[in-house]
Structure 1
């Protein structure tokens, strides 16, 4: 779940996603793997279909959440397709329009909840309780399209996995997430760079603490979007083409980690309101799903085996 900035999506050509990522039952169409046997004497029912994909915390927590295939996929086969979770204007220039915070605040409560389930950093940035956000992790596949209705996802993420990805939760000697000693008290909460340690200097003007909290929430939400969003071409965005750049995040696709060119096994193909993940080569059961992020991503450092120093 590391990586950086928005990537260009080419017309039918493997687009370069913007960020790695790097979650159980999904809208009734995606089922979790179960092993319950029917009661004795009951009519026999076919066993549940084995899962196709598995979502879990990477063996290296620094890589965050990840996606694995549990069955083989052939070259060119579609792993899944999902709808956009959030689209916003993200101008290439810092002085341009960057309205992701406003777009996030305009989303329905259920859509925001789904976003928190996939992105612990976003939940932290906006003062969402860690346990509340972790409970939404079963919504990771809730935007899969009917094309993927037969997909079975084995979601292995635990609340502990979700919480340990947040900056405001520490880890004890047993690798168990530990709640910070001070319970946050305002919208962006004390986790945002010790905001409330500065209360004394801010009491001179009424509401200044809340204003500063919102400012920091806005900045952190923008930082999150810059890391995770896929940049869309004008013809693939919801708004009219112009000088600004539309970009979007996806609940499941954004959990896929990066590998450098030649090492990835999948590519993404974006269309209006949807994105599909396609196999670039034959993929064996048990392999991690990987895609290649944009090479010009600022401050991005590949943590895959392709770049790990021997």
Structure 2
């Protein structure tokens, strides 16, 4: 028994095939170009295998509402070649097997819950902080989806008193993604995040924004763990700063877990989403 997984990112597609124990047999990275070019390579990879199911975690926004006529579509993405693309339909036409479908960050949350930093728990939030900011959640063992899916990177936050940056988000200017993503850091400070490692002011301001996000997710969803991943979070000095800011923001209003155990990096590293996609494929196959 073999499962397929597609982590569809804006820069690259990671495809993998596993056995029934979710041990990866083969994986490949494919540049995200046009749908025709990218999917040609995806099909060439999967055509070699007899798969039971495929799990897809895609960049978005996507349509996850099963009652919608455009369920399975990438919808209003700024990657115009992929806008209104019938992703699930194209895969289904090719293979006619069960297809699991969610966001890349929901898949990462599932991966960390079942195999990573939130193992043994029933709920977690996963936030990726990199080229953009996106978040997914598993609550009571279920992916958080409804009419749509979470867009945790676009919550509004209070500006830091020392920050005059106007924001990079084309939709909301100074939402969380607009002021705390990698491009926002680079535009504000004139250097990429990894070149600013020794500049304490950079990370104090970044932690101020990310802590507000953690507070918001905590108050609304009450997850048992919050996992912070992505390129920016490879600056590990951020974690103690964020925990300190969260403690100050909360002011003991609600009981909190030990923050060292509550706000953590991903245990699966860069493999959170691809593992989540394999888990989604397995779960979808079992529910048929």
The reply to whether TM is greater than 0.5 is no
TM-score, normalization by structure 2: 0.27
Name the larger-Rg structure.
Answer: 1
Higher relative contact order (CA 8 A, sep 6+): 1
Which protein has the bigger helix share?
Answer: 2
